[in-house]
Chains A and B, each alone.
Chain A
């Protein structure tokens, strides 16, 4: 049997992440749990942006759909966490299907604008129904509810493991998708859509599939965020949360499965350290991005891949 070194590498990264909990302080463990949830979000976004070449500026809507799908059903219908989590994913997936169907009638810059507008409409809707959503100041899920059976998702160690499980499953799904036949078609659409159509592939269902999968990842991350960190609010539907996965993907390496993880870690800690130095910490992030565009346009892992004759999926 041929050694599947790509699979081994990804499993090794997953194992390494698991091992991190034994060497890290609770503070960094909490950080890494948050990073892994956001990296799950960005890993799904990478399938759409990095592999299919579609730039969405509206994925915060799906993140928020997952968050509110889980949070609202827990708050108003007393869903247990184990039912609220898939409800969040389903809400985001359904919304991604609907918005994908509409937004994919456009391409390029128009697609960016349409997705942005849908997300803004969703953001404003959350604020408009403030009575129910508590959109402006957000609401907190009671710690007692944030548990699956005996497992308390709000405790440091179990929270980390929950985040690790979600990220690991997401990473392996993403790896399987991009290495599948369908994944090959997604890359072909990114590289040359007209050519792909003239080879007999209808691009639309593939592009819609990429929107739906990335929406499902965003929903899973949003629902996990609500359960693990307890906060639900409209700010998670704002433009900032649409831009974040884009930045993670760009910095880590668009079109590399592990890129979003690397990007998430780098940006999270960049902001964390910059905050200690200055209140204008976003300037540091801006400088990092300018340097990225100037010197490593393909992102950290994208640049590494070029030197390793491209076997990194």
Chain B
């Protein structure tokens, strides 16, 4: 079943066509990686999907319903969570308060009272529960990235969009992160923008390659590895 799809999705910034994707379909349960050279429009593309920016043209469907005009906060209620490329947390609040907010949002959606439990579970999953009452801003960069992921997890999303989650993480942290995403993918679909090819090849079921805002190729990691167009785009032709 297709969880999310986009048709003829176009975003223009002035005269620049940043995104021009004819067709994109993400089946439920998949881990999909979006890769491409710098400036290929990856972040713009996922920002259109999660509603941070509005498309110039095109349509986006999530679970059969048209969400093209739906504001970002309502898409979150449907089950689309987004984690920022540039770490976006509440530095002055504790880790617990950081995850409490999405947990509270989730609990209000299914009228349950388990926000506090949900918050702690999210911190446990990323291995930060022992630091729950420390200030988020005083944490190491890698921990802030993981906190950002925990905030997404606390929403219990159907689709988790991660924008370069491993950027700046150490080798050890990346291994933990890969385990985490595999666990998350058991009950959620994951859309991942990623530069680290080792992470992409290890995690992705399928890969979409963007170049100059358009889909250059799409396929399994093996297919993408052997694709001549992709090699040209990355290495320069």
- Max chain B C-beta neighbours (<10 A), residue from A188, A194, A199: A199
The binding surface of chain A is classed by DSSP as: helix
Q: Does A8 contact B (CB under 8 A)?
A: no
Interface size class of B (residues with CB under 8 A): 20 to 34
Q: Does B52 contact A (CB under 8 A)?
A: yes
Total chain A interface residues with beta-carbon distance under 8 A: 16
Q: Does A125 contact B (CB under 8 A)?
A: no
Q: Which residues of A contact B72 (CB under 8 A)?
A: 197-198
- A200 CA to B101 CA, complexed, in Å: 9
Interface positions, chain A 171-227, Cβ under 8 Å from B, are: 181, 184-185, 187-188, 191-192, 194-202
Are A199 and B100 neighbours in the complex by a CB distance under 8 Å? no
Are B88 and A195 neighbours in the complex by a CB distance under 8 Å? yes
Are A201 and B84 neighbours in the complex by a CB distance under 8 Å? no
Distance from B68 Cβ to chain A, minimum over Cβ atoms (Å): 18
Q: Does B92 contact A (CB under 8 A)?
A: yes
Are B101 and A185 neighbours in the complex by a CB distance under 8 Å? yes
Chain A residue with minimal CB distance to B87?
Answer: A195
Contact of B101 among A188, A194, A202 (CB under 8 A): A188
Are B84 and A195 neighbours in the complex by a CB distance under 8 Å? yes
Chain B residue with minimal CB distance to A194?
Answer: B88
The binding surface of chain B is classed by DSSP as: helix
Distance from A298 Cβ to chain B, minimum over Cβ atoms (Å): 11
Residue-wise interface mask of A (235-277) relative to B, using a CB-CB cutoff of 8 A (1 in contact, 0 not): 0000000000000000000000000000000000000000000
- A183 CA to B90 CA, complexed, in Å: 15
Q: Which residues of B contact A195 (CB under 8 A)?
A: 84, 88-90
Q: Which residues of A contact B52 (CB under 8 A)?
A: 194, 198
Distance from B191 Cβ to chain A, minimum over Cβ atoms (Å): 15
Q: Contacts A191-B90, A192-B90 hold; do A198 and B104 have CB atoms under 8 A apart?
A: no
**Further contacts, 7 of them, CB under 8 A, given A198-B84, A201-B73, A202-B71:** A184-B101, A194-B52, A195-B84, A195-B88, A198-B76, A199-B76, A200-B76
